[in-house]
Amino acid sequence: MTTGETPLETGLNLRMHQVREMVDAKGFSSEPERIWEMLALIHSEVSEAADAYKKGQSHEEVGEELIDATIRILHLLSALEVDADAVFDRKMHTNWERPHRYNTVRGG
């Protein structure tokens, strides 16, 4: 554990902390008025991944765009002050409790 981390910082919360340190150091705001912009930027990175896949770029390149999206999601989660590990665990539990191929009447 490095300086500044709490014992609860593991997994997603640790990554969220690492992203927040980087964006703060690079001068990017995490203020509430940027929430809509952050949401839009997550979309832009997912679109970049779709475009890279469409163009036949390598899986590594597609993955790099998905990691860009992940970084932006972790930044937004930090701005929202969400316990990402707790929410992840709760959502995974909920999803495991759902029936096989739930909500897929028309595919998906």
Given the rule CB under 5 A, which residues bind Mg ion? 45, 48, 65, 68
Closer residue to Mg ion, CB minimum distance, 46 or 82: 46
Closer residue to Mg ion, CB minimum distance, 13 or 75: 75
Q: How far is the CB of 45 from Mg ion (least distance, A)?
A: 5
Q: How far is the CB of 97 from Mg ion (least distance, A)?
A: 35
Q: How far is the CB of 108 from Mg ion (least distance, A)?
A: 26
Closer residue to Mg ion, CB minimum distance, 52 or 84: 52
Residue nearest to Mg ion (CB): 68
User: In sequence order, what are the residues at sequence separation of 6 or more whose Cβ sits closer than 8 angstroms to the Cβ of residue 74?
Assistant: 12, 15, 16, 19, 20, 84
The C-alpha atoms of residue 38 and residue 23 are separated, in whole angstroms, by 12
